[in-house]
Amino acid sequence: MTARPVVEISLRFTLCCLVPALAAAPAAAAPVTPATALTATARVAAAAERPALAGDYLEVRTSDVWTGSCFANGEVGLAGQEAILAWRVREGAWQGVDLAGRSVVAVVTASATLGDPHADPLPARSVLLVDEAASPEQRTALADFAREAGGGLIEDVVAVLPEAIEISVHDGAATLAAGSVAEVRTRPLGHHDSHCGNEERYYPPLTGKVSAEPGTTVVHAWRGGELGRTWSSPGKRSAYVGTFER
């Protein structure tokens, strides 16, 4: 009869010590199944594939890009040494600087018809127009991005100018206004734009990582004085309009 109180006391002591310890113990981790492992891998892969920058792309030249060889041969060495390239960032950052909603334009003059496989367009000279609404850090990042995207064509930059830039891309048509110095307006190609029936993308876009369709240039003008020349080249099948990712 004397052992019962001892057992009760011992049991109470055990419960008092064990219950708090169990409550404090960490919960067991959920088991890793093939399905959860695959989901985690997909998330990592998606993050790795996400582009640093994405947005709208516009390119116009002073020669046809959608054309047949007969027309292209007639312009080689006589036209196509000039181009305007424009990027409007919808989302993303470059060198850690958020560029969403900002734009940059490159105006290029080359030593030969751009895209001619038998001639070297270098040396080339360019002017960069950066969004005047951008901060100083954003302007620097925009210019660095344009140099990276344009490669050798945008290696010799003679001036970087802030301008009020407006770029619109919709249903294959695009407009660009950069202050009073650059103006572009394009429309999609139509059946009446075929002159010989052998048209193709004779010259590809000047930059990589773009998804763009050829179009007709209604207005293409550069009025700045930094490159030593100005031009107006309307009414040509000289445009690419689409998107970019880098």
List pLDDT tens digits, range 53-95.
999 999 999 999 999 998 898 999 999 999 999 999 999 999 9
Look at residues 172, 158, 178, 163 and name the one whose alpha carbon lies nearest to residue 220.
178
Output the pLDDT for position 41: 52
Output the pLDDT for position 197: 86
210-222 and 231-232 beta bridge pairing = antiparallel
Pairwise CA distance, residues 136 & 157, whole Å? 18
What pTM was estimated for this model as a whole?
Answer: 0.80
125-131 and 157-163 beta bridge pairing = parallel
Output the pLDDT for position 114: 98
Beta strand segments in the chain, E: 53-61, 66-67, 82-94, 97-98, 103-109, 125-131, 157-163, 165-170, 173-178, 182-188, 200-201, 210-222, 231-232, 236-245
Output the pLDDT for position 6: 42
Look at residues 111, 116, 121 and name the one whose alpha carbon lies nearest to residue 65.
116
Look at residues 53, 55, 57 and name the one whose alpha carbon lies nearest to residue 242.
57
- pLDDT tens string, the chain, 246 residues long: the values are 444 444 444 444 444 444 444 445 455 555 656 555 545 554 544 444 567 999 999 999 999 999 999 889 899 999 999 999 999 999 999 999 999 999 999 999 999 999 999 999 999 999 999 999 999 999 999 999 999 999 999 999 999 999 999 999 999 999 999 999 999 999 999 999 998 888 999 999 999 999 999 999 999 999 999 999 999 999 999 999 999 999
CA distances from 127 to 14, 124, 221 (A): 82, 11, 14
